[in-house]
Amino acid sequence: MATKTINLNTEDIEDDCLCSEITTTCSIPLEQKDVEETQSLALNRPNGYLKGESRIERAWSHWKKLGEPKLIVAPMVDNSELPFRLLCRKYGAEAAYTPMLHSRLFNEDEKYRAMEFSTCKEDRPLFVQFCANNPDTLLEAARKVEPYCDYVDINFGCPQRIAKRGNYGAFLMDNLSLVKSLVEKLANNLNVPVSCKIRIFPNLQDTLSYAKMLEDAGCSLLAVHGRTRDEKDGRKFRANWEAIKAVRNVVRIPVLANGNIRHIDDVHSCLEETGADGVLSADPLLENPALFAGYRTAEWGLGVTGMKEDDKLDQAELLIEYLRFCERYPVPWRIIRSHVHKLLGEWFRIQPSVREDFNKQYKLTFEFLYDLVNRLKELGVRIPLYVKDTQQAVSAN
């Protein structure tokens, strides 16, 4: 049995420290058959020298082998780390992306690799996402993770200013020749398929040409965020599902839809309207990691016909489950701090003094966080999640 060990160092300070005071390892056992399968792929790559129909067939073969997952955790910087992915998987997520990893830093900085990437055998199917603007640098980084994921994903969708400064993400839409070379480099040299996550152009035909170019370059799966590079605010700008549908109709590889997935009914509507092979959800999962299991926050459940309060699961319980995953798989405290704010934001509005105490806490501990949840409960704070009233649905029938 071969074992991949990812060392999680604890040399950083305070919020950049891992949430464990001892050095921890995350060991990923690979069965001998998995090693042999990985080696055999070198002779029969998903892409590589395969052209035309053979490449498309292999893209679909791989997707079907993974079970054609439809409910997928989108990549989120500092938020789609291993413990959160595992929590989402517990509540219905069928696949997940890592946070975006910077390919150059991933190659050069062992500490960065240890802090930002971890996985385990339950964490599959898995997309490992990189940002890059140099094909050789990207390939070097991708080779480090390819034995432990199902796709190496290239981020062509990040619209933030840091991506503009670094010349990666959605800002590579201005340099399609570089985009093509990045995809070709991985497609011709990796033993796992290459996926790409993109945003749409303002002009639909430009988007369709872009998607076809990526497919021709060797992309085996395409995730389409239905907003343009300038449409950063998901609450202000609705994702364009029609554009995603148009992409789905012109490419022959699997397509995932990203945007407007706030609850499970959105999942069904999106799949029906776009014809996509799966959906990604990002920010709504941060407030409700049980979204794919049919749970809704009060924003989307309160007052909705056929919904009722759930008397067991709420955001505080989800936070406790998340913290337990963090105790098992340590991550930087800054990431945990972010998840606490996302999960308990509405609870903190009811008891702002608890939020103030949390914000003042310079050095977090699990004991403090568990006590914080108990304190909110003792103060009578509880905002329920909502689920479908099955009794009502049965009586209606």
Active-site positions read 158
Length of the chain: 397
> Can you say whether the dihedral through the CA atoms of 69, 74, 75, 79 is positive or negative?
negative
Q: Of all helices (H) and strands (E), which one includes residue 206?
A: helix 204-217
* Cα atoms in the 13 Å half-sphere on the side-chain side of 281: 29
Q: Which helix (H) or strand (E) holds 127?
A: strand 126-131
CB–CB of 383/302 below 8 Å? no
Cα–Cα nearest to 297, from 343, 239, 233: 343
The span from the CA of 292 to the CA of 285, in Å, is 9
Distance between CA atoms of 340 and 336, rounded to whole angstroms? Answer: 6
Cα angle value 66/157/253 (rounded, 5°): 35
Residue in 313, 374, 318, 363 with CA at minimum distance from that of residue 337: 363
Sign of CA dihedral 182, 187, 188, 193: positive
Packed helices 204-217 and 176-187: angle between N→C axes, nearest 10 degrees? 30
**255 SS3 class:** strand
Residues 6+ apart with CB under 8 A from 141: 101, 103, 104, 106, 107, 130, 132
